Amino acid sequence: MEIQELRRLRPALDKFVAKFDDCISTAPSRRHLRTYINGQLGPLERKSIEPIALDAGVHPRNLQEFLSIHRWDDHAAGRRVREMVRRDHPDPNGIGVIDETSFAKKGTKTPGVQRQHCGSTGKTDNCVVTVHLGYVTRDFHALIDGDLYLPEETWSNDRERCRAAKIPDDVVYRAKWKIALELIEKSVLEGVSMRWLTADEGYGRCREFRERVAGLGLTYVVEIPASITGWTKPRLGAGATKARPVSKLWLRGGPTWKKYQIKRTDKGPIVWEVRDTRFFPQDTGKPGKEERLLVLKDVLTGEVKYFLSNAPADVPLKTLLLVAFSRWHIERLFEDGKGEVGFDHFEVRNYRSLMRHLVLTTMSLYFLCEQTERLRGEKSILVDLPGEEGGGCATGSDDVAA
């Protein structure tokens, strides 16, 4: 955000930050909160503690201690963000989006750092991974929660290393889908109005994740790997058919392909062909609960994707596609977080500082999203566009690629 723009928004920003004052009991810590948020939203090229502090005329150690040892309730600040979502952006058709992001880091001291797949560099690299929940409505999107993925062998099983990074003993390894489920459960219990949930195949492949999301009353549309096996017409006993991978279900024939325009671009429409059928995933060798299987094929590139949904048969296919392709929102939020508010600029060596940075960044990004919505006016970020051959589905505004 440019300095002139930030100055124009100063009254709105001061009012926004004041909403979190009751999460922080002392005046010095409240001042540091404003310094950190102002620094993240300001024009600094590097938005780590030292440049933010020096730009504000504050000693960097004071800001470091604000993150690491000052007594303030970062959990309450996170709840306040979700409270604002519930109050200011309710939507009976709200979409929850689960995804993870990574931060390339040098050294071995940052909590959770290890060599693993790093999406930001596109290769195996030294990085930290966090799992996040995004919230999407027709005119608004924001990150509303996140947590650290703590690797099992290199961190969780090495409690001495954890204690050196001030990671509490009750913070242990959890599979990413379990972290995601905890984020979803927390927001649902706090009253965030989500009806839908979407996630990539890393989460969609897990049957327990899907079942527990459904148990929360959410309708999911999650991507699955091509290797998931099951039946479209299961038969038990004599003449029973063998479960097959979704990629091998229709070697010839199958449900009719329908074309859907996903988005318009300067180079023309993005169109996918879609098949929709009932499907029974294999569960311990037997057919599980009936779900809807979507097979999507990009007509230009030939790329194929597979999605499972627990939506009833009367839910229109284009609605499921709208949810499935809503993942671009959280990708855009990660991009804005790293490009605008220094999401990846943290340089910390203890757990509390890292978790507080995640909360503060969520707050800064939320303010940025609200101001973007205000400046956009009535223009929706989820819009239905005309489709082809009986259907249509759009996943984004004209200036954001799906």
Question: Between the CA of residue 395 and those of 119, 136, 254, 261, what are the distances in Å?
Answer: 22, 11, 27, 10
59 is a domain residue: no
6 is a domain residue: no
Q: Per-residue pLDDT for the chain (402 aa), expressed as one digit of tens each?
A: 555 666 678 899 999 999 999 999 999 999 999 999 999 999 999 999 999 999 999 999 999 999 999 999 999 999 999 999 999 999 999 999 999 999 999 999 999 999 999 988 889 999 999 999 999 999 999 999 999 999 999 999 999 999 999 999 999 999 999 999 999 999 999 999 999 999 999 999 999 999 999 999 999 999 999 999 999 988 776 667 889 999 999 877 888 899 998 887 777 888 999 999 999 999 888 899 999 999 999 999 999 999 999 999 999 999 999 999 999 999 999 999 999 999 999 999 999 999 999 999 999 999 999 998 887 764 555 544 334 343 444 333 332 223
* Residues 35/58, Cβ–Cβ less than 8 Å: yes
289 is a domain residue: yes
Residue with tokens 């999406």: 119
206 is a domain residue: yes
pLDDT at 265: 78
219 is a domain residue: yes
Q: Please tell me the total count of domains within the chain.
A: 1
d(CA 34, CA 236): 64
Cβ count within 10 A of residue 308:
24
Q: Say which CATH number the domain at 94 has.
A: 3.90.350.10
Domain enclosing residue 156, as ranges: 73-376
52 is a domain residue: no
d(CA 286, CA 240): 11
The CA-CA-CA angle for residues 163, 167, 172, to 5°, reads 110
